[in-house]
Structure 1
Amino acid sequence: MAQKMIVFIIATGILAYYIYTPIPEEVDQKLKITMLNSLIRTWDHVGQLLEWLGWRHVMHSLRILTDMQNIPALSDENITVTDTIFSGVPVRLYVPTQQTNELKRGIIYIHGGGWCLGSPAMKSYDTVSRNTAKDLNAVIVSTSYRLAPEFHFPTQFDDVYTVVKYFLQDHILAEYSVDPERTGISGDSAGGNLAAAVTQQIAEDAEVRNKPKIQALIYPALQPIDFDTPSYQQNKNMPLLTKSLTVRFWSEYFANDPSLYHAMASNTHMALEFNYLFTFVNWSMYLPENVKQSYTYSEPMFGKAELLQKYPGLMDSRAAPLLVKDSKLKLLPKTYVMTCEYDVLRDDGIMYVMRLRNAGVSVTHYHVKDGLHGALSLNSWPFDLENTKIVEAHYINWLDKNL
């Protein structure tokens, strides 16, 4: 009997560990968030065990969870949905069936997933793209890109850039009845990173005549050189994106190298000779006082230069859009940035807002005070949240007014 009681206590403790997560009082529907976070944590831990045993990469295990959410391209009375290829890259295309005398707006959407997971076929992304196409009578190009750990930077950037350049050609826009002066680029999380990086590159690309009118960045990841911002400290164990998972995503973006992950996790992956880059992400300069709170900026710790010599992408603005001079930011179009209070990526977005405004760019900053990472995509049963409807409505309304 005593042995059974011990086993029961241990099992109960393990279950409580996976289920219990401290969630701020401001966040609604805690039960749904707790259950979803428990699922993600359990799957992540199982994946890490399988990786430790040498059976499969942890991202391959996590990918099972996201692939389970994929749905086919289904058209309805409002939208024709097709899976097709743009210049060698798979995309899911949403074309409104409503006929008008005006040309349509066009948006390229880039999904998140830490450059390792996800696709336009996920139900959450399909829902956002479908709703955006219907509400705006706009053509939505939801693009895929090759994923880590099979592929690393700059492959993901190159795939998205290829799609954007292809779509912005005159004859392609004309084929889909899209106004060349009313196009935009949007994305969330890692997709927000790619959206920001592509928009910067497009602005300077002489081959692209039709420049995007807007960019919309949803809780974007914008820099991999300082993982000690206030939001990383405050939200390191917050659902649904922990600091450790974020760092793992970043490290996998560049390489399958555990030494890189461990250096990034300890914030010692930068070398002293590249300390000038920290001026672009010095949060003590760019975060308002209410965001900095009681956190104190400390000088970065530096490691050896070997990692940066091996993985120069860490310093490449195509991977880290915050690492650019103001002269490049001045070229950018009207911008929308969404951040969430309880998100490790919050301060990346806020710093970009401040730097864009300092460069003279028109920016709308929508801060979700009770939001967690993934606020736009928690729209599918059984983990659909009421707050997601508000977040999506704000995003689509901004697009409607500015595109």
Structure 2
Amino acid sequence: MGSKLLCLVLASIVLAYYVYSPIPEDSEEHWKVMLITATFKTFRNLAGVAEYLGLMHYMDVVTLIGTMQYVAPMSDENVIVTDTEFNNVTVRLYLPRKASDGLRRAVVYFHGGGWCIGHVGMKPYDLLARWTSNTLNAVVVSVNYRLAPKYRFPIQFEDVYSVTKFFLQSSVLSQYGVDPDRVCVAGDSAGGNLAAAVAQQLSEDPEVKTKLKVQALLYPALQVLDLNLPSYQENENDPILSRSLTVRFWSEYFTSDLSLREAMISNRHVPVESSHLFQFVNWSNLLPEEMKKDHIYISPTYGSSKLAQKYPGFLDLRAAPLLAGDAQLRKLPRTYILTCEHDVLRDDGVMYARRLQAAGIPVTHDHAKDAFHGAMAFISFPTELAVGRRLLNRYIEWLNENL
């Protein structure tokens, strides 16, 4: 009897460890959020053990979450869905069935997943694209760009840029009945990073005659210079996107060299000769007072020049759009930025919104004080959350009004 009781107690402790996560008090549906975060925690722990034992790469295990959520391209009564290729890059294309009085709107969408995981066929992304296409009567191009660690930066950017540039050709827009004056690029998390970078490069590309009307960035990652922002500190142990996992995603984007990841963890990866770039990520000037709280800005600690020479990608605008100068920002379209209070990437989006506003760009900064990173992915059974549906509706409403 005593041994059975001991086993029960130990099993309860283990279960409590996985199920319990500190959930913000303002979150709705506490127990459902707790179970969701427990699932993420389990996969991350399994990934760490599998990699330590040499069984699988960390990202291969985490990718199983996406594999479990895959849905094939299936048309329904509202939208025709097909997998095809644009410029040799796989895309999932959503074409509304309902008639249109004129040319349609279009959204080119880039999924999240830290440039390492994710797929256009994941159920949340498929639902998001269907909902966007049907609600807005719009063509949606969801891009299945290649992923790290098999493919490193700038492959991911090159894939999404290639698709967008191809789609913006007048002949292609005409083929799908799209109004060239009503095209948007959008993305979440790493996809938001790619969308911001694509919008910047399109504004500088003399070969592109069609200009974007809007860009929509959902809790985007926008810089890798300062990985110790207040939002990184406050959400360091977030079960869905912790600071350590964010650093892992960033470093895997560029290389498997552990020295870069270790330097990023200690926030000592930027060389002194790049010190001028810190003005673009100086949160003491760019964050509102309520987000600074009791945090004190600390001047950067510089790292080895050798890392930047070997892996210059983390200083590249295509990876860190927040580093763009004001002259380049002035060329960007009307912008929607969603940030979540309980998110390591919160301050990236807030700082970009402030910089765009200062550059004269019309910006809608939608800050969700009760939300966490990736909340919009939870919009279907059995992981549907009220906060996910609410953020989705706000995003779609903005597109409907501005695109």
Question: What TM-score, normalized to structure 2?
Answer: 0.98
Deviation of 1:34 after TM superposition, in Å, equals: 0.9
Deviation at 1:44, TM superposition (A): 1.0
- 2:258 and 2:41 map into 1 onto residues whose CA distance is 20
- What is the correspondence of 1:168-187 to structure 2 with a 5 Å cutoff? 168-187=168-187
Provide the C-alpha distance between the structure 1 equivalents of 2:273 and 2:180, rounded to a whole number of angstroms. 44
- For residues 4-23 of structure 1, what are the structure 2 equivalents within 5 Å? 4-23=4-23
Question: Following the alignment from structure 1 to structure 2, what is the Cα–Cα distance between the partners of residues 14 and 317?
Answer: 44
CA contact (8 A) 1:222 1:348 kept: yes
Which residue does the alignment assign to 1:234? 234
Equivalence map 1:102-113=2 (5 Å): 102-113=102-113
* CA-CA distance at 1:273 after TM superposition: 1.8
Partner of 1:45: 45
Decide whether the 8 Å contact of 1:47 with 1:61 is kept in 2.
yes
Structure 2: 5+ residue runs without aligned partners?
A: none
Q: Which AA in structure 2 matches 1:41?
A: K
**SS state at 1:341 partner:** strand
Cα distance in 2 for residues equivalent to 1:101 and 1:15:
56
The Cα of 1:386 is off from its aligned counterpart by 1.2
CA distance in 2, matches of 1:262, 1:70: 33
Residues 162-200 of structure 1 show CA distances to partners (whole Å, capped at 9, x for unaligned) of 000010000000000000011010000000000000000
Give the aligned partner of residue 342 of structure 1.
342
Q: Given the alignment of the two structures, is residue 119 of structure 1 paired with residue 103 of structure 2, yes or no?
A: no
Aligned-pair identity in percent equals 51
Does residue 65 (structure 1) correspond to residue 69 (structure 2)? The answer is no
Instruction: In structure 1, give the amino acid aligned to 2:334.
Output: K
Return the letter of the residue paired with 1:183.
Answer: V
Residue type of the alignment partner of 1:370? D
Q: Which amino acid aligns with 1:169?
A: Q
Specify the alignment match of 2:203 in structure 1: 203
Partner amino acid, structure 2, of 1:124: P
Rounded Cα–Cα distance in structure 2 between residues aligned with 1:157 and 1:38: 32
Number of the residue aligned with 2:285: 285
The residue that corresponds to 2:34 in the other structure is 34
Q: Following TM superposition, by how much is the alpha carbon of 1:6 offset from its aligned partner in structure 2, in angstroms?
A: 4.5
* Residue 310 of structure 1 pairs with residue 310 of structure 2: yes
| Cα distance in 1 between the residues matched to 2:239 and 2:45 | 15
How many angstroms apart in 1 are the aligned matches of 2:212 and 2:206? 13
> Are 1:33 and 1:239, in contact at CA under 8 Å, matched by a contact in 2?
no
Following TM superposition, where does structure 1 have runs of at least 4 consecutive aligned residues deviating by more than 2 angstroms?
1-15
Please state how far the C-alpha of 1:25 moved relative to its aligned partner. 0.9
Q: Give the alignment's Cα RMSD to 1 decimal.
A: 1.1
What is the deviation of 1:39?
1.0
CA distance in 2, matches of 1:52, 1:257: 16
Deviation at 1:343, TM superposition (A): 0.5
The residue number in structure 2 matching 1:89 is 89
The whole-number CA distance in structure 1 between the counterparts of 2:15 and 2:239 is 17
- Residue 269 of structure 1, CA deviation: 1.1
Letter in 2 for 1:176: Y
Residue 101 of structure 1: CA displacement? 2.9
What does 1:134-149 align with in structure 2 at a 5 Å threshold?
134-149=134-149
Name the SS of the counterpart of 2:279 in structure 1. Answer: helix
- Distance, in Å, in 2 between the alignment partners of 1:13 and 1:232 is 29
Show structure 1 runs of 5+ residues with no match. Answer: none
Name the residue aligned to 1:247.
Answer: 247
Secondary structure at 1:186's aligned position in 2?
strand
Shift of 1:5: 4.6
For 1:223-277, what per-residue CA distance to the aligned partner results, in whole angstroms no more than 9, with x for missing partners? 0111111111111112321111111111111111222111111111111221111
> For each residue in 1:316-360, what CA deviation from the matched residue of structure 2 results, as whole angstroms up to 9, or x when unmatched?
010000011111100000000000010110000000000001111
CA contact (8 A) 1:239 1:372 kept: no
Aligned pairs, how many?
403
Residue equivalent to 2:101: 101
Please state how far the C-alpha of 1:46 moved relative to its aligned partner: 0.9
C-alpha offsets along residues 116-169 of structure 1, whole Å, 9 cap, x if unaligned?
111111110011110111111000000110001101100000000000001000
Query: SS where residue 322 of structure 1 aligns?
Result: helix
CA contact (8 A) 1:215 1:333 kept: yes
Which residue does the alignment assign to 2:74? 74
| AA of the residue aligned to 1:390 | R
User: What SS does the corresponding residue of 2:13 show, helix, strand or coil?
Assistant: helix
CA displacement at 1:4 relative to structure 2? 4.8
**What SS is found at the alignment partner of 1:300?**
coil
- Asked if the contact 2:40–2:239 (Cα under 8 Å) also holds between the matched residues in 1, the reply is no
> What SS does structure 2 have at the residue aligned with 1:247?
helix
Q: Secondary structure at the match of 1:376?
A: helix
Alpha-carbon distance in structure 1 between the residues aligned to 2:146 and 2:341: 30
The separation in 2 between residues aligned to 1:12 and 1:303, in whole angstroms, is 45
For residues 88-120 of structure 1, give each alpha carbon's deviation from its aligned partner in whole angstroms, at most 9, with x where no partner exists.
Answer: 000000001112231000110100001011111
